[in-house]
Amino acid sequence: MVQIHFPPFLFEAFLFATVDEARSSAKMGNGVAVITLPKKIPRLWDDLVMSITPGPTTSSRTSSKKEQVDLPAPRSSGKIQIKFTPRVFPTALRESRVQEEEEWLSKQAEARRAGNEELAAELKDLKDEERNPEWLKDKGDKYFATGNYQGAVNAYNLAIRLNSKIPAFYSNRAACHLKLRNLHKAVEDTSRALDLLTPPVPDNAPARARAHVRRGTAFCELELYTEGLQDYLAALKIDPQNKVLEEDANRIRQTIQGGTTVPENKC
């Protein structure tokens, strides 16, 4: 059971199945509760919570005593450590953009809930985890790490078909397209990732920087150095202490001014 007491509100939910308590976490702040509950057994649940039927009436209680009912054993209980913080994001209060930060949290929660139920029904012959977008992303990440870039693209393709609102799916697929020299597709995917990574807040800054670098690299490979420089400068604005980005941006400037070197393919 999940229970959150945030005066004057009280939220309770009896989950459909058990979760991994060791990896579960919860954060509360700015009137928003973000709860992460990894499943103990990776599979699709029929529902998020158990359906609780009303208790029997007085007359039915009397009659039910005459019948022997086999009830399942009670589930084991456990506690999830919750850390309460006054803010979800580390931004200093005087520099805070509370509205944008809360909008980003809301978008992420909505994206996790989104899904293509019709497609999931079409893929009913697959295992439960094979219809899970996050499982497909992990599979794509593993394929990429071993150099199987086309296999990774295929995994990300299905993940995006199941849920088209997660920016990491597009950004990671763009990294594969760079390796496969599908440069226009890399530009399209990184642009879509950046569209989803809004509003810009500290929590999504690393993802935005990666997407800008990947798109900038694709532009440079297409010999569109001015566009590539703009993306590298955007990444450098997000991460101004990154010396590698600064050096790459300078090399692109030299290329535009008549040099010959460009940044190496960085994914």
pLDDT, tens digit, for every residue of 73-129? 666 666 666 555 555 555 554 455 667 777 767 766 666 665 555 665 566 666 777
d(CA 256, CA 228): 10
Does 170 lie in the same domain as 120? no
Range of the domain at 159: 115-164
User: Which pLDDT belongs to residue 167?
Assistant: 93
* Residue 223: CA count within 13 A, CB half-sphere: 3
Does 184 lie in the same domain as 154? no
Does 35 lie in the same domain as 132? no
User: Which pLDDT belongs to residue 210?
Assistant: 96
Pairing status of strand 82-84 against strand 25-29: parallel
pTM over 0.85: no
Is 32 within a domain? Answer: yes
Question: Hunting for tokens 């070197």 — which residue is that?
Answer: 261
* Cβ atoms < 10 Å from Cβ of 183: 18
Does 219 lie in the same domain as 237? yes
d(CA 75, CA 260): 67
Is 75 within a domain? Answer: no
- Domains identified in the chain, total number: 3
CATH number of domain containing 202: 1.25.40.10
Does 133 lie in the same domain as 180? no
Is 254 within a domain? Answer: yes
Q: What is the pLDDT of residues 160-212, one digit of tens each?
A: 988 888 999 999 999 999 999 999 999 999 999 999 998 888 889 999 999 99
Does 229 lie in the same domain as 175? yes
Is 158 within a domain? Answer: yes
Q: What is the dihedral of CA 123, 128, 134, 136, to 10 degrees?
A: -60
Is 100 within a domain? Answer: no
Long-range contact set of residues 203-207: C-beta below 8 Å, sequence gap at least 24: 203/88, 203/89, 203/101, 203/104, 204/104, 204/167, 205/238, 205/239, 206/239, 207/167, 207/168, 207/171
Residue 52 amino acid letter: I
Does 229 lie in the same domain as 219? yes
Q: Which residues in 208-226 are b (16+ Cβ under 10 Å) and which e?
A: bbbbbbbbbbbbbbeeebe
Is 238 within a domain? Answer: yes
Q: Where are the alpha helices (DSSP H) in 88-224?
A: 98-113, 117-122, 133-145, 149-162, 167-179, 183-196, 205-221
Question: Hunting for tokens 């290329």 — which residue is that?
Answer: 255
